[in-house]
Amino acid sequence: MNIILEGCDKTGKTTLAKMCCQYFKLEYKHFAAPPKDLSKDAQIAYQKAEYAIETLMLPYQNACYDRFLIGEAVYSPIYRGYCPDYIHVFEKAFPPEDTFLFLIYADPKIVADRFDGKFIKKEHIPKILKSFQEQFRKSKIKNKFAIDTTIESPKESFNTIMTYVNLIQWGGAL
């Protein structure tokens, strides 16, 4: 099983990823931005190697991904000046029945209140949240769900994830 948690910084992804890893016995994997001192072409090559794009081999199976494919599609155009057109192709490498994509989001004001000044710029928050929603809609991953952490606690959000995964895995329908 693979669980992918996508969303803007400060929406609760890392907290939820750690809870998912513990409960579902998954390996934790976080994909970060490429080193800033690389050229645009070197950054693209770095990301392709990191994601094993050329061979469509997943770097990890039975993992919880704390930001992965969609994060790159959102942040690269804003902060690195290129559009990673290879991202949605990579989705084909995931087993369709055993992969879950969750968009973790919150109200822009809540995200701004949680903001710590790292990586993203505060003025970009609304644009980033909107871009995550657009990329999430484009995703071809079959089992995908959105969770609003504006007022839900991490435990409530995790219970939502657990419910969706267990229903799908045990043959339930939503």
**Cα angle vertex 171, ends 168, 174, to 5°?**
55
For the chain, state the CA radius of gyration: 16
**Cα angle vertex 152, ends 6, 104, to 5°?**
5
**Cα angle vertex 138, ends 132, 142, to 5°?**
110
Do β-strands 99-105 and 2-6 pair in parallel, antiparallel, or remain unpaired? parallel
Single out the residue of 69, 55, 54 nearest to residue 3, CA to CA: 69
What is the rounded distance in angstroms from the CA atom of residue 33 to the CA atom of residue 5? 16
Take residue 41 and report the two structure tokens written for it.
């072409």
pLDDT tens-digit series, residues 62-71: 889 998 878 8
User: Which CATH number applies to 2-169?
Assistant: 3.40.50.300
> pLDDT per position in the chain (174 positions), as tens?
999 999 999 999 999 999 999 999 999 988 777 777 778 788 777 777 776 654 555 556 788 999 887 888 898 888 888 777 766 677 777 888 889 999 999 999 999 998 887 778 899 999 999 999 999 999 989 999 999 999 999 999 999 999 999 998 887 655
First-to-last C-alpha distance (Å) of the chain: 19
Looking at the DSSP bridge assignments, the partners of residue 146 are 103
- Contact criterion met (CB below 8 Å) for 141 and 168: no
Whole-structure pTM value = 0.87
